[in-house]
Amino acid sequence: MNRLLPLSVKRSTLNVERSPSASSPSSFGLQNSAFRLFRPALLACALVIGHWSLVTPAQLRAAEVSLSSATIEDFNKAFSAGTLTSEKLVSLYLARVKAYEPALNAVITLNPKALDEARSLDAERKSGKVRSPLHGIPVVYKDNYNTFDLPTTGGFYGLKGSIPPKDATITARLREAGAIIIAKVNTSEFASGGAMSSLIGQSHNPHALDRTPSGSSGGTGVAIAAYYSPLGYGSDTGGSIRGPSTSNGIVGLKPTHGLLSRAGIIPLALSFDTGGPMTRSVYDIAISLNVTAGEPDPLDDATKKSVGKVAKDYTAFLKKDSLKGARIGVARDFMGQDPEVDVTIESALAVMKAQGAILVDIKYPPILLGMRGDLYNAIRRPEFKAQIADYLATLKPGYPKNIDDLLALSEKISAVSPEGYWPNPGRLALYRQEAKAAPLTDPAYLAAKTHGLAFVRDTMQALLDSQKLDAIVYPTSPRRPALIGEVPAAGADARPSATNYANLSGFPDLIVPAGFTSNGLPIGISFFGTAFSEPKLLALGYAYEQASKNIRVPKHAPALPGETITY
């Protein structure tokens, strides 16, 4: 059974007066009209309560927060205050989708029942039933998450209209918690290659339309950055949550392998695959884990590793002073490729040091740096060839059944078709490589999986243990987001990012915005730790986030009128 936490509302100020439309009791149990009647007496009492400190008019006004900076906690406060409904919240996000699509080209399918579902959940709330803190909260999914009532395409035109038999486990847990699917969003085709699909083409970075939002969870990255919803889900096999998180200037988590179920997510390589949340705040990452992490899923054996290692409440670790005394390893192996990225990361390190962190420069062993790509591909390509066939076998008749079918269909699209399908030459090249991959009984594959991954995992653990590190930090992408279609220069660094060490080891990696280049492009910093260290990483990331405040409204998705939440 999924774990649903009771809704808790924390108040840092005395918010006892609400807007005239509010009908719920204030924190003193008084209706607004009663509060206005007794306000002079309460002000006088405030001189006595709280060590003779006078409550200021600002503290007595209803709190206001913009939609772009509101957390799920803010939404729940507004729900409780009666100043917001789920129907209104969904309407605000749908208005943003209408305003910025198809320019950003992030959305594959809108949920036509989103408003109806919101109204139903509002009725539940009014009757006294609140399922979880995600009750009535909109969410977007990368279009490789199965949804029983909406198509799941993997971004491949050959799966257009495919309705899977049931929800992915993560999807089902979020629905049970009261989350509302607002849209299925673009993905690199079958979660690999550039940030485009043959189904709808290229997605665009809302901070700069000529820049990549990165892949493969690029549609989710764009949707969260442009705040089409407060919560989105992507998948990560070699950096596919973390690249889009940094390129779009948002927060993202690649969880420990086995913390979240992958059942019902189209596989790329199950040795590495994991689903994970993408948001505009560390708090929203934590609150989402309270719903999606839980008891092992019988449909995903990897989740057995999480037994006894799932936190009761991930938000409990979010403290602003968490960096004080923390030992942070600085992986400079992954710097030196873009001077503005390096300057921004150095500034981030200075913030951590000012918060009391102890910074320790570390070096990755040369053998680890040299084997990254070959080991990854030795496992990734054979697994996709076998595992995509297993997934396709679950679909209705009329859809492709194996890698050979995918390759043949991909080769048919050499120009934009009358139906609007796009050629995807980068993914086509990968299909050709995957079609030639060895079977999963091949000795080289088995050796790579059995011994290679154990070597990486043990080496990374030793690196963390030997320096008594709480986390390792590095620039998630050592270069600013590339121009769409840009080809790397000859002789470019063969190891541009450290991201897939988290996949090779199975360890978690949290991305937090670190700042921007001089031309407004986002830069992210990774907090990488040992298996099931999400509570520690969230604590460190939250402390850094609160000290730095680097989230920004994208240039090409500005605020619309009326996007203010009050409570």
3-state secondary structure 110-130: ECCCHHHHHHHHHHHHHCCCC
The H or E element spanning position 277 is strand 274-279
Distance CA 384, CA 491 (A): 29
Angle of CA points 170, 108, 243, to nearest 5°: 65
Distance CA 463, CA 368 (A): 11
Q: Beta strands 327-331 and 358-362: pairing type?
A: parallel
Helices 86-100, 114-126: inter-axial angle, 10-degree rounding: 160
Of residues 513, 469, 475, 507, the one with CA closest to residue 359: 469
Q: Beta strands 196-197 and 358-362: pairing type?
A: unpaired
Backbone angles phi, psi at 521, to 5 degrees: -95, 135
Distance CA 378, CA 197 (A): 24
Catalytic residues: 142, 216, 240
Bridge-partner residues for 276, per DSSP?
234
Report which DSSP code applies to 166. Answer: S
Sign of CA dihedral 417, 421, 425, 430: negative
- DSSP-derived secondary structure for 188-234: SGGG-SSSEETTTEE--BTTBTTB---SSSHHHHHHHHTTS-SEEEE
Distance CA 92, CA 98 (A): 10
Distance CA 319, CA 546 (A): 9
Distance CA 137, CA 174 (A): 10
Backbone angles phi, psi at 517, to 5 degrees: -75, 175
- The structure tokens listed for 102 are 């198809």
Amino acid identity at 131: R
Of residues 429, 566, 515, 554, the one with CA closest to residue 81: 566
